[in-house]
Amino acid sequence: MLGPVLLVASRSDAMRKLVAGAPVTRPVVDRFVAGETLADALTAVRSLTGDGIEVTLDHLGEDITSAAEARATRDAYLRLLEALAREGLGTRAEVSVKLSAFGQALPTGGDDLAYEGARRVAEAARAAGTTVTLDMEDHTTVDSTLGILARLREEYPETGAVLQSYLFRTEDDARALATEGSRVRLVKGAYREPATVAHQDRAEVDRAYVRCLKILMAGRGYPMIGSHDPRLIRIAQELAARHGRKPGDYEFQMLYGIRADEQRRLTGQGHRVRAYIPYGADWYGYFMRRLAERPANLTFFLRSFLPS
Ligand code: FDA
């Protein structure tokens, strides 16, 4: 019940001010977000890659309202990629991009602006020896994001996509993307979606995840299993073995701060594991989606408001 309420709150400016302004919020946010600065992000990258875990970095920000903000997002990614190249981290660190932070939703020319910004980032990523993955946001953006992906892949075929198993359309999208050189992160989906477009029942979402995973594992692309769910991780390992895929022909991805022990355990078993590291000042939407996924996180957060 709480999940949907928190997802509504994740879009509320009033809640944003209340939560972000509360002094007790910070330590809880720190569990899920690597910090506000590039230096904070690089510290987390060094620590995780030192443990053999690869990373993908998300400069936090979404739903921007001007072309100037879109350019600021692009520039933050260019600075990040410069730093990764300087430190020789390009083989172990890639970047994840939310196109809404690149201007996708702006009423005029949003798609082109987002494409141009992402294209510059893909160019810089290649120069740094790494890749870009386009995160997937709410269902109204999927066609636009897949359209921009197709344009980017003409020049940068290594650009990755995210598919969300809760959407009814995703099996078809998985079939279309299970092709040579195509990198696809499969996730359950983190937004509040209507019953007209998405499964509402968690078991249905899980079953759809397995169907999509079967398509991706049987295909010719590179599946990225974006989940902390032990059952789905086990099924992914079984499907990979069935299709003769070895570690490195697919990878596991998990979020920074979530099931860190499992990230290390899989790495220790020889699997390729990548942690998704968010950083930046605009952490509110990301943080609220993490609370919505797990009521225990909310309890932990609310407890921090009580006097100790
Ligand atoms: P599920 O929610 O069933 O969790 C399984 C177990 O994992 C839980 O029992 C718990 O132990 C642990 N867990 C999960 N979430 C937790 C949390 N917040 N706090 C603590 N423990 C938690 N979504 C999207 O719509 N677009 C995107 O682009 C992405 N990108 C993305 C990248 C990566 C690398 C990951 C791992 C996930 C995403 N997601 C995403 C989020 C995804 O859609 C989904 O909301 C979360 O991964 C939670 O789903 P699980 O598959 O982990 O299963």
Domains (ranges, CATH) in the chain?
Answer: 1-32+287-308 (no CATH), 34-282 (3.20.20.220)
User: Model ipTM?
Assistant: 0.97
The angle subtended at Cα 101 by Cα 99 and Cα 105, nearest 5°, is 70
> Considering only CA atoms, which of 153, 160, 134, 156 is closest in space to residue 145?
134
**Nearest residue by C-alpha to atom 43 in ligand 1:** 189
Q: Could you read off the pLDDT of 99-153 as tens digits, one per residue?
A: 999 999 999 999 999 999 999 999 999 999 999 999 999 999 999 999 999 999 9
Is residue 226 a contact partner of residue 162, using CB atoms and an 8 Å limit?
yes
The angle subtended at Cα 235 by Cα 232 and Cα 239, nearest 5°, is 135
Q: Could you read off the pLDDT of 210-256 as tens digits, one per residue?
A: 999 999 999 999 999 999 999 999 999 999 999 999 999 999 999 99
How many residues are there in the chain? 308
Q: What is this structure's pTM?
A: 0.94
Q: Does residue 10 surpass a pLDDT of 80?
A: no
**Nearest residue by C-alpha to atom 30 in ligand 1:** 135
Ligand 1 touching residue 141 (CB < 6 A): no
Rounded Cα distance between 87 and 106, Å, is 35
- DSSP line for 206-262: HHHHHHHHHHHHHSSSEEEEE---HHHHHHHHHHHHHTTPPTTSSEEEEETTSSHHH
Phi-psi region of 99 (alpha: psi -120 to 50; beta: other; left: phi over 0): alpha
Best mutation site among 6, 136, 187, 251 for ligand 1, i.e. most ligand atoms within 8 A of its Cβ? 187
Is residue 160 a contact partner of residue 224, using CB atoms and an 8 Å limit?
yes
Ligand 1: nearest atom to the Cα of 189? 43
Tokens representing residue 67 in the block: 């072309």
Q: Distance between alpha carbon 297 and the CA centroid of its chain, in Å? A: 19
Q: Which helix (H) or strand (E) holds 56?
A: strand 54-59
